[in-house]
Amino acid sequence: MTSSEDRINYLDHAATTPMRSEVLGKMLPYFTEKFGNPSSLYSIAGEARYGVDEARELVAQVLGSRTSEVVFTGGGSESNNLTIKGLAARRTPASGHIVTTAIEHHAVIHPVEQLEKLGYDATYVGVDASGQVDPDEFAAAVRADTFLASVMLVNNEVGTIQDVAEISRKSKAASKKLGGNILVHTDAVQGAGKVSLKVDELGVDLMSLSGHKIYGPKGTGILYVRRGVELEPLIAGGGQERQRRSGTENVASIVGIGEALALAESERLGSRDRFDSLSNKLIEGVAERIPASSFNGSRSSRVPEIANFSFPGVEGEPVLLGLDFKGIAASSGSACSSASLEPSHVLLAMGVSPELAVGSVRISLGRETTEADIEEVLGALKSVLDQLATFPSA
């Protein structure tokens, strides 16, 4: 962070991230001199097509996949919807069952709920108090007609890492035993730059990613689709992306997400110790200064960039407004639902009481977060909570 007095101590990187200068620099030529339509045949179009091809190669290297298995989309939500609805559309509701978890992002839960209204069936597997899914319990929910298992790699609210590889292995074994053919999808939007995304190691057939979580452009995403998996497209038209996502390619943003993902992966291992240190300082500091607080999530299987706390007797919104007044940006649960005072579905699934869940605050660290930023938020949290405690309760 900068040292100017009007700086923002930005601690909501799980919601979105600022674009890296390297990413912007790579994108800029595709807005101007390399503006061609990649589907055309002349040289300007060839320059645009090269940018898309290069980005696809960068993504494939990170995922350990073929370039033909990389689909560029308009974001993580679209990638999730394309997976769920695109697979469902190739079968009848009467023979369609999905297994997912109770703590998925709404971009997974809501499409599944839409399918349920059409006659498909779904099972939402619960989690323990740390937000962990039991692979055996998940596999036990698989039926002969289960065509999709969807498990988030890293939870966006509490940072818990799921053992996707084990869940996939056991779910596929259970499906095979029942004579089924299940496909495994992971929403890995919060995992990029934090954990390995090698698709064969994870045992997944589909994977969703997003650009703006990794210092890339908003409105761009990736869907990995294993060779042989057939999806009905959500968007029909020109047949781009091998008939899986029509529409003239958003070349500049595709170039941006490719560069952002490659940079995130190249720095991933080298950043772990720094984030571990900052996260431990934050968690220990909150426990020391605010003893009534509680930490939500796993201490052993989590990404250090995301930390979630509950504070009794308050709601998250006034805490966030108090922090914002002090120049600190944080979040309450998922950014997609932060305007609502409804308790987080993730925390409720973990057994957190509704009263504590509405008083939750998520602090998510980024590339520029420093120890001084952690000290600042610790002091500000204590000050805001002390001030709120003086207000009369309703």
As a three-state string, the secondary structure of the chain is: CCCCCCCCEECECCCCCCCCHHHHHHHHHHHCCCCCCCCCCCHHHHHHHHHHHHHHHHHHHHHCCCHHHEEEECCHHHHHHHHHHHHHCCCCHHHCEEEEECCCCHHHHHHHHHHHHCCCEEEEECCCCCCCCCHHHHHHCCCCCEEEEECCCECCCCCEECCHHHHHHHHHHHHHHCCCCCEEEEECCCCCCCCCCCHHHHCCCEEEEECCCCCCCCCCEEEEECCCCCCCCCCCCCCHHHHCCCCCCCHHHHHHHHHHHHHHHHHHHHHHHHHHHHHHHHHHHHHHHCCCCEEECCCCCECCCEEEEECCCCCHHHHHHHHHHCCEECECCCHHHCCCCCCCHHHHHCCCCHHHHCCEEEEECCCCCCHHHHHHHHHHHHHHHHHHHCCCCC
The span from the CA of 150 to the CA of 211, in Å, is 20
Is 336 an active-site residue?
A: yes
The span from the CA of 173 to the CA of 179, in Å, is 10
* Catalytic residue chosen out of the listed positions 28, 45, 229, 336: 336
The span from the CA of 308 to the CA of 352, in Å, is 12
The span from the CA of 6 to the CA of 150, in Å, is 43
> Residue-wise over 129-153: b if at least 16 C-beta within 10 A, else e?
ebbbbbbeebbebbeebbbbbbbbb
Catalytic positions are: 336
